[in-house]
Structure 1
C-alpha cells in the first residue's frame, strides 16, 4: 500500500512538486462568489486546517455553513451567522494502491489533485468543465462532466468523513453504510461539514480533443445517440440563434481519438481549423488543448486550464437535467424559445451523464442530459426567463443543478426527487437543531 499522508498545498512550490497552487480569482472583502453575483451575508469566516479544528468550531458556533471554492450561483452555501471555509483542508491524506483509492481533504481542488494522481499512475473517471472547484463542494452539489457512461463526480466517492452538528465525526462508506451512504454523498451541505473524501481511481490515460463547428440541428435530431456517444466525453455548445449547434467538443481516449485526425466532417459539422472557446467571441487561450494534440486526462477533460479565470467570469448559470430518452424533445422545446433566450445568453452546453443511485443527485435513477445556460449577468432578465424555460421542460421532469439558478417551487422539487422525504429524515438525524440549515435549504427543500 502506498501512502502519502498529509501532502499540504502551500503558496510555495518545491522543485519537482506536482501539487501546483492556484491563486483565487476573487477578493475576500467583501466576500463574494467567483462570478460576483452573490455577496455573502456575513463576513465571519473561519479557515480550519484540520478535522479537529472543524470539530471545535462546530461545537462552539450555534449556526454555520460550509463554504468551498465559491462557485455556486445561488445561496446554497450562504449564512447570516458564520461561514466555515474548507480552503485550508487541501491535503492528500492517503493513496491506497491496493484498494485503488485516494483519500483527500474536502477542500482540495480537482486541478490540484489530478496532476498528483497522474504522476502516480492513476486517474479519476471524469472531471467537470472547470478544474478550479473543490472535491467536497462538487460532490455535495452533484456537479458533473460529460459522457454517456460517466456518472457525475459524486459517483466516484466510496467513503467520506463528516462532522455533524454536535461536532461528532462520522466515517461513512459505500460498503459499510449502504442505508445512509447514498443519501449523504450529495448532501447539499445539510448534514454537516465534509472533511475527507475517498475516491475510486482507475489507471491513468491519455486523451485527444477535437472540435467541430456548425452541426445541423436536424442531424442532431436524427443521430443524437451516435453524436453524444462519439467520444469518451462530448459537449454540444449552442446559442439557440440558428438551426445549428455552434460547436461540438469530442474528448477521446488517445487510441480512440486517432480516428478523428483526418475526419473533416462530423454529421455535417466541419472540423475546426483553430482553437476555439465555447463562446466564439472569446479567446481560446485559457481553454484546454484541442486539434487532436494528445495529453493526460486531466488536461483534456475540463474545458478550461487550471490557473486561469474560467469561462466568461462575469456571468450567471442555470442547468436542467432531463431523461436521456427524451433529450431531443427537451432540446427542441428550448430551441423554440430561442428568440427569447438568445439575447440574454452567452452560451448553452448540452452534456450526457449516466444514471446513479444518490438520492439528491439530478441523475438519480435515470441516464440524463443536462441543458446548461451561461447567461449574461442580468438577473432581472434571467429571473423572468427561468420560469418560462422550466415550464417548457416540465413535461420531462426536469431537475435543476443545486448550485445554479432556478425558480422551481418546493412542491415541484419534492415530486421530482423521490427520496426527498428520506433525505429530510437523514438531515434531522445529523442536524436535528438545524445548525447547518440556511434560508436556501429551508425555503427550497422545506427543511424547517
Structure 2
C-alpha cells in the first residue's frame, strides 16, 4: 500500500480496519508492531511500521460519528472522519470549526496528531480546537484525556504523532456557523508584500499567498473574509488588482476543484478549504514540504527564499505563505505566532531531497521547524532539540507504550 501522493510504499505487512472497539482491542492483543494510519496524506514514513497499520475509519463505538453537545458546543468525533464530512455535519446543526486546512479530505485524528493547520493571524492549528481525546493503548486500555481533567498530560497528548496509542475519538470546540467570501488579488509586487506583510495578512480572516519565488510579483493573494450582510472585499493597501475569473493555486490548472471565489459569500465549510470535498485536488504526482517559523521572521524568511529562487523554482509547482496563531501543545511547531512556507514540488524525488538541506540552512537560523508529515532533511535528533518539552513527550510515550510497539517509521528514528 502507498500514501496519498504515491511517493511512499509502506513497509507494513497488514492493514486492519476494525469495526468495533472490541475488534480494535483484538488487533492490539495480537502483539507486534502497530501504527495508526489516517488518510495517508503524510509524505514521509511517520505512519509506517513493519507490522500492522490500523485505520479507524470504519470504527463504530455506538455513538454518532459527530456527536454534538448542544450545551457546551463540543463535538465528539470519530477519529477517522474526514474534515469535509465533519464540517457538513456541523453546518447542518448550525455550528462551525474556527479553521480548516486547505484540503477537506484529511482525517481528524491524523491532522491533529501532526499539527496540520489552516491560515489566519488569529487562527491556531487544527489541534488547538481539541479539548479531549479517547485513546486505546497498545495494551487494550481505553483512556479519555481532556484539557479540563488532565492538564499535565493533555498538552503532550494532542500533537502525539501516534506515539501514545490508537485515537478513537477527538473532542473539538465549535462555534456558531458563519459565512465567508473569497477574493484574489493578482500579481502583488514583492515590495508591497515585504513592506505591508502585516496589513495583508491582517486584512481578512484567512490569507494565503502563492508564488514560485522567481516571479516578479506574488502570483496570488487569496483573502477569505468574514461575510456578514454588506461585506466588501478587503482593501489592505492601495493599487491591488483583483481577479475576475476563478483561479487554481497552481498556474494554468483548471479551478473546477476549488471552492467558490469572486466574492460570492457562502458557508464556512464551503470556503475555508481551498478545495471541494467531492474533487481530488491534486494536479498529479507531487511532493510536499513545509517549514513553520516565528512570524517575527516572516520578511527575513521570504527574502531568503527569494535568494534561493534559482535552485528552488524549477522544482516547484507552487509555494503557499500563510500565518498561524500560537498554541500551547508540546510538539506543536507554533509556540508563538508563526508564518508557514508550504512547498508543493514536482515529484522529482532526488532533486527535491538535494535542495531541502539548502533551504534548511537558510531557514533554521530563523527558527524554522519542519511539518511532521512532510518531507525534510533535518536529522531526527536535531528535530527533537527544537522542542523544549521533547523529553517530557518521550517519557509520556514510554508511559503509554512501554513496549515500544508504536515506534515504527520516522517515529522510531525520532524517539530512538
How far has the Cα of 1:439 moved from its partner? Answer: 3.0
Unaligned runs of 5+ in 1: 1-30
Q: Are residues 1:437 and 2:407 paired?
A: yes
How far has the Cα of 1:382 moved from its partner? Answer: 0.1
Q: Are residues 1:339 and 2:302 paired?
A: no
- CA–CA distance in structure 1, aligned partners of residues 58 and 173 of structure 2: 23
1:341-384 alpha-carbon deviations (Å, 9 max, x no partner): 00000000000000000000111x21110001000001100000
Q: Are residues 1:349 and 2:320 paired?
A: yes
Aligned to 1:22: none
Unaligned runs of 5+ in 2: none
Aligned to 1:300: 271
Aligned to 2:200: 227
1:222-267 alpha-carbon deviations (Å, 9 max, x no partner): 1111101111000000011123111000001112882218x6x955
> Residue 355 of structure 2: SS of its match in structure 1?
helix
Q: TM-score, normalised by structure 1?
A: 0.90
How far has the Cα of 1:166 moved from its partner? Answer: 0.9
> Residue 257 of structure 2: SS of its match in structure 1?
coil
Within the candidate set 228, 233, 247, 1:255 is matched to 228
Aligned to 2:105: 132
8 Å contact 2:66–2:89 — kept in the other structure? no
Within the candidate set 180, 185, 192, 1:207 is matched to 180
- CA–CA distance in structure 1, aligned partners of residues 33 and 155 of structure 2: 26
Q: Are residues 1:318 and 2:303 paired?
A: no
How far has the Cα of 1:269 moved from its partner? Answer: 3.4
RMSD: 1.5
The structure showing larger relative contact order (alpha-carbon pairs under 8 Å, at least 6 residues apart) is 2
Equivalent runs, 1:99-110 vs 2, <5 Å: 99-110=72-83
How far has the Cα of 1:43 moved from its partner? Answer: 4.6
Aligned to 2:262: 291
Q: Are residues 1:38 and 2:19 paired?
A: no
- CA–CA distance in structure 2, aligned partners of residues 41 and 235 of structure 1: 36
8 Å contact 1:34–1:313 — kept in the other structure? no
8 Å contact 2:16–2:53 — kept in the other structure? yes
Aligned to 1:61: 31
Aligned to 1:419: 389
8 Å contact 2:199–2:237 — kept in the other structure? no
- CA–CA distance in structure 1, aligned partners of residues 312 and 38 of structure 2: 31
- CA–CA distance in structure 2, aligned partners of residues 300 and 89 of structure 1: 29
Aligned to 2:52: 82
- CA–CA distance in structure 2, aligned partners of residues 205 and 439 of structure 1: 40
> Residue 53 of structure 1: SS of its match in structure 2?
helix
Q: Are residues 1:407 and 2:380 paired?
A: no
Change (3 A) 1:148 1:209: same
Change (3 A) 1:278 1:166: same
- CA–CA distance in structure 2, aligned partners of residues 240 and 231 of structure 1: 23
- CA–CA distance in structure 2, aligned partners of residues 256 and 428 of structure 1: 53
- CA–CA distance in structure 2, aligned partners of residues 179 and 144 of structure 1: 24
> Residue 360 of structure 1: SS of its match in structure 2?
coil
- CA–CA distance in structure 1, aligned partners of residues 320 and 238 of structure 2: 18
Q: TM-score, normalised by structure 2?
A: 0.97
8 Å contact 1:219–1:267 — kept in the other structure? no
* Number of residues of Structure 1 aligned to a counterpart in Structure 2: 413
8 Å contact 1:63–1:81 — kept in the other structure? yes
- CA–CA distance in structure 2, aligned partners of residues 70 and 83 of structure 1: 11
8 Å contact 1:219–1:268 — kept in the other structure? no
